[in-house]
C-alpha cells in the first residue's frame, strides 16, 4: 500500500525558494520510485509573510505546520526588513515559530565528504573523517531570556536556563550519543556563568542514567579552538542556544561550505527540517546557491520524523555520488570540479542519482 505523508513547506525569503524547490524535486523522485506519496502544502513566513499579511508568522502557518507530519523550511530574512520594529522582523517570526512548535532540540550534523576534503580551509589530515553532531538547545537561553531591551545608551539580554530545559535537551544528546560512538562533550562557560554551572551540574546528573556514554565538559572558548585544532576528537556536542549557533557555523567550515549543512529541529510537536544557513541575500536570484544542505535536511526528515531511514540513505548516497562525479555549485566549485552547476542543475543531478 502506498504510504502518504503531509509535508508543510515554508520557502521563505532570498535563496529559500530556490533551495526548497530542489529538495521537493528529490523527495518526489524518491516517492515515485519507492511508492511513497508526499503531499506538500505551502505556508508563508518571514519577510514575504510580512509583505503579504503584515505578520512575519501568520497564525495559518502555525496551524498548517502543526497538522503536518513534518515541515521543510528554507530560510528567512533580508535587508529589506532589517529596519522594521523588532517584533515584525522575519527573525522574530522564526524565533516565535520555534517556540510555538516547542522544537527545543536542534540537531546539526557536520560531516566532511571525502570528495570535498580540499574544500575546507583546514588541512585534509585534520578533517578527514570528521563526523560531528551538534545538539543545540533551540528555544531557551539568551535569545529568549527576559529581561531584554535597549535604550539610547544601554542594551541588555538575559541568559536563562531552567533545570527542566537542560534535562530534556541532555536526554536527546545522550540518546543520540548511544546510537553513535557513545562520546558526549557538553560545552558551556561554567567558569564564568552561573547559568552554565547549572547546565553542567544538570548534565552530570543526567549522565548517571547513561553510564555507557563517556561524558566530557569543555568551555565554549576552548571548544571553538579545539574544533579547528582537532575536530575528530568530537562526536556529539551538547550545548546551549547561542553557543550552538556559533559553533555549528564554525563546524560548517570544516566541511567546506555552509551550503552543505542540514539540520533538524525536533521537540514535542511537528519537527522542522532546514539548512543551517540563512537566506543569503547576496546570492539570491542568481541560481548559484548550493541546495545540498536543504536536500540533506529532507533526508533527515525521512530519518527522524517519517521513520524512513532507507529512503534517507538513498538521498544521502545520491548526494555523495553527485559529488564523487565531480559536480559542484559555485561555493565549492574550486575543488576538483568536473563542472560547476546552477542550483537547479545540482538538484537535477542529485535526482538522477536517486536509484
Ligand atoms: P547566510 O547564511 O544567509 O549567508 C552567509 C554567507 O554564506 C553568504 O555569503 C552567503 O552567500 C553564503 N551562503 C549561505 N547559504 C549558502 C548556500 N546554500 N550556497 C552558497 N552560499 C551560501 O547568513 P547572513 O548573511 O548572516 O544572513 C542573511 C539573512 O539570513 C539575514 O537576514 C539573517 O537574519 C538571515 N538568517 C536566517 C536564518 C534562517 O532562516 N534560519 C539563519 C541565519 C540567518
Residue 277 alpha carbon, nearest atom of ligand 1: 2
Mutate to test the pocket of ligand 1, among 275, 279, 340 (most ligand atoms within 8 A of CB): 279
Q: What is the pLDDT of residues 9-52, one digit of tens each?
A: 999 999 999 999 999 999 999 999 999 999 999 999 999 999 99
Give the CA count within 13 Å in the CB-facing half-sphere of 23. 36
Residue 121 has pLDDT above 90, yes or no: no
Q: What is the pLDDT of residues 174-199, one digit of tens each?
A: 999 999 999 999 999 999 999 999 99
Q: Sort residue 141 into left (φ over 0), alpha (ψ -120 to 50) or beta.
A: left
For position 285, what pLDDT does the model report? 96
Kindly provide the b/e burial profile for residues 60-78, where b requires at least 16 CB atoms within 10 angstroms of the residue's own CB: ebbebbeebbbbbbbbbbb
Topology of domain 121-255, per CATH? Isopropylmalate Dehydrogenase (3.40.718)
Q: Largest Cα–Cα distance in the chain?
A: 64
Instruction: List Cβ<8 Å contacts ≥24 apart for 39-42.
Output: 39/4, 39/5, 39/6, 39/7, 40/7, 40/8, 40/9, 40/72, 41/6, 41/7, 41/8, 41/9, 41/68, 42/8, 42/9, 42/10, 42/11
Catalytic residues: 143, 189, 221, 245, 249
> Do residues 342 and 330 make contact, with C-beta atoms less than 8 angstroms apart?
no
Label the pairing between strands 236-239 and 339-340. unpaired
In this predicted structure, the answer to whether residue 294 has a pLDDT above a threshold of 80 is yes
pLDDT at 335 over 80: no
Query: Which numbered atom of ligand 1 lies nearest the CA of 275?
Result: 41
Quickly count: other Cβ atoms within 10 Å of residue 355's Cβ: 9
Q: How remote is the CA of residue 80 from the centroid of ligand 1, in Å?
A: 14
Domain limits, the chain = 1-105+258-355, 121-255
- What is this structure's pTM? 0.93
Ligand 1: centre distance to CA 331 (Å): 13
DSSP three-state, residue 62: helix
CATH of domain 1-105+258-355: 3.40.718.10
Q: What value does the mean pLDDT take over residues 106-118?
A: 91
Backbone angle region of 149, left / alpha / beta, with phi > 0 → left and psi within -120 to 50 → alpha: left
**pLDDT value, residue 336:** 75
Q: Taking a C-beta distance cutoff of 8 angstroms, is the pair 92, 56 a contact?
A: yes
Q: What is the pLDDT of residues 66-95, one digit of tens each?
A: 999 999 999 999 999 999 999 999 999 999
What residues flank ligand 1, with Cβ below 6 Å? Answer: 15, 19, 75-78, 91, 94, 258-259, 274, 277-283, 289-290, 293, 331
Atom of ligand 1 nearest to the CA of 74: 40
- Shared fold status for 1-105+258-355 and 121-255: yes
Torsion angles phi and psi, residue 55, rounded to 5: -135, 125
Residue 1 has pLDDT above 90, yes or no: no
- Nearest protein CA to atom 37 of ligand 1, as residue: 278
Q: Cα-Cα-Cα-Cα dihedral of 12, 61, 172, 142, to 10°? A: 70
Amino acid at each position: 500500500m502506498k504510504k502518504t505523508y503531509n509535508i508543510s513547506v515554508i520557502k521563505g525569503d532570498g535563496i529559500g525558494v530556490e533551495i526548497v524547490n530542489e529538495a521537493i524535486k528529490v523527495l518526489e523522485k524518491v516517492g515515485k520510485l519507492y511508492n511513497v506519496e508526499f503531499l506538500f502544502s505551502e505556508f508563508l513566513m518571514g519577510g514575504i509573510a510580512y509583505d503579504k499579511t503584515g505578520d512575519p508568522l501568520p497564525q495559518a502557518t502555525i496551524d498548517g505546520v502543526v497538522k503536518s507530519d513534518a515541515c521543510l523550511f528554507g530560510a528567512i530574512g533580508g535587508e529589506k526588513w532589517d529596519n522594521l520594529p523588532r517584533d515584525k522582523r522575519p527573525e522574530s517570526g522564526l524565533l516565535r515559530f520555534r517556540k510555538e512548535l516547542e522544537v527545543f532540540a536542534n540537531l546539526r550534523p557536520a560531516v566532511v565528504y571525502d570528495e570535498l576534503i580540499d574544500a575546507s580551509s583546514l588541512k585534509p589530515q585534520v578533517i578527514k573523517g570528521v563526523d560531528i553532531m551538534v545538539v543545540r538547545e533551540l528555544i531557551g537561553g539568551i535569545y529568549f531570556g527576559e529581561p531584554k531591551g535597549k535604550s539610547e545608551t544601554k542594551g541588555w539580554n538575559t541568559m536563562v536556563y531552567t533545570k527542566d530545559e537542560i534535562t530534556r535537551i541532555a536526554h536527546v544528546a545522550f540518546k543520540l550519543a548511544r546510537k553513535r560512538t557513545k562520546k558526549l562533550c557538553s560545552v558551556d562557560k561554567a567558569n564564568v556563568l552561573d547559568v552554565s554551572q547549572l547546565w553542567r551540574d544538570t548534565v552530570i546528573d543526567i549522565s548517571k542514567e547513561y553510564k555507557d556514554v563517556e561524558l566530557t565538559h569543555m568551555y565554549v572558548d576552548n571548544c571553538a579552538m579545539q574544533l579547528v585544532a582537532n575536530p575528530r576528537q568530537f562526536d556529539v556536542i551538547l550545548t546551549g542556544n547561542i553557543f550552538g549557533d556559533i559553533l555549528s557555523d564554525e563546524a560548517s567550515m570544516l566541511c567546506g561550505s555552509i551550503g552543505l549543512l542540514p539540520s533538524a529541529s525536533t521537540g514535542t510537536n511537528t519537527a522542522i527540517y532546514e539548512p543551517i544557513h540563512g537566506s543569503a541575500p547576496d546570492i539570491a536570484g542568481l541560481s548559484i546557491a548550493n541546495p545540498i544542505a536543504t536536500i540533506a535536511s529532507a533526508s533527515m526528515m525521512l530519518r527522524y520524523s517519517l521513520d524512513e531511514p532507507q529512503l534517507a540513505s538513498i538521498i544521502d548516497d545520491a548526494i555523495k555520488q553527485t559529488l564523487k562525479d565531480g559536480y559542484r555549485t559555485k561555493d565549492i566549485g574550486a575543488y576538483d570540479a568536473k563542472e560547476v552547476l546552477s542550483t537547479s542543475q545540482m538538484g537535477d543531478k542529485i535526482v538522477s542519482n536517486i536509484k
